A and B are shown apart, each in its own frame.
Chain A
Amino acid sequence: MGCLESMKHEIILRDASFRECREYILSHFPEHFEVLPGYKIFEKYLIGVPPLYIAVDGDDVIIPYTKPCYGTFLIRVPDPEMVTELRQKKPK
């Protein structure tokens, strides 16, 4: 996972489908943003089926992360600076 692997993170869902992760974000995190596939965050380009959502929850960023052999993970990464950046950019 590149630099994300070296960051503190919590796995919310593992070996899920992309749609399961999308539905989890929409149903559990009221503060979410739609982004395009290929959106760059934590120096990675997000993989996803549109509509692709990421969320913020307190000081944490919630993102889906897909690996070819392991399905899609939903990951929580503590990063107050990124949370501030997302709230300011309100990406689409």
Chain B
Amino acid sequence: MPDTKTEPQDALILLGCPQVPIQTSVALYLASKLRKKGITTVITGNRAARTNIEVADPDRHYIGEVIDIDRCVALLAEKKRDFHFCFSFIHNDAGLTYAATVKAISPAAQILIIFGEHYQEVASSVDFPAEIIAVNAVHNPMPLKAKIDEVFPWVVSNL
């Protein structure tokens, strides 16, 4: 992991499939919180997930760099890029598979944001070290927002 004492901190926000409505709004909310903390964010996802984010924040008040998920995996695998934190939005097996991949190829501290109607099943299949935020939230972002508000100070200051 990059040296947290001497370098500005940065975070990767890894988006899953945008099928679950709350992902985009909560990712923007998280990006805003990180930015207020002085943490630079890079958002990655497939084209649909990235487009949802970019359309929702056209003037880029909250988001910074946005990159394709395959390119992001390549940069991490080739050790050309790294992050202090990785916040992974997960609501299905594929999302968990991407998060496990980033865990394997990057020293970034992993925070798994697990949501959607199958959140318990997905959370129970995590078998690698990570902080887990798991909430039953599909259409209403408030339960997940509340959970992020609750754990965010601890996550950012202790990892």
Could you tell me which A residues sit within 8 Å of B by CB distance? Answer: 2, 17-19, 36-38, 40, 44-50, 66-72
Contacts and interface: CB of A to CB of B under 8 A. Distances in A.
A1 to B, nearest CB: 9
Contact of B76 (A38, A69, A70, A72): A38
Contacts of A70: 94
Contacts, number: 71
Interface of B: 15-19, 45-46, 48-49, 69-70, 73-74, 76-77, 92-98, 100-101, 104-105, 125, 127-128
Contacts of A40: 77
Given A17-B93, A68-B69, 8 more contacts: A18-B93, A19-B93, A38-B77, A47-B73, A47-B98, A50-B104, A68-B17, A70-B94
Main secondary structure of the interface of B (DSSP, over half): helix
Contacts of B70: 2, 44-45
B93 A72 contact: yes
Nearest to A39: B77
B105 to A, nearest CB: 4
A40 B19 CA distance: 29
B100 A68 contact: no
Given A38-B73, A38-B105, A49-B127, A69 B97 contact: no
A67 to B, nearest CB: 7
Nearest to A49: B100
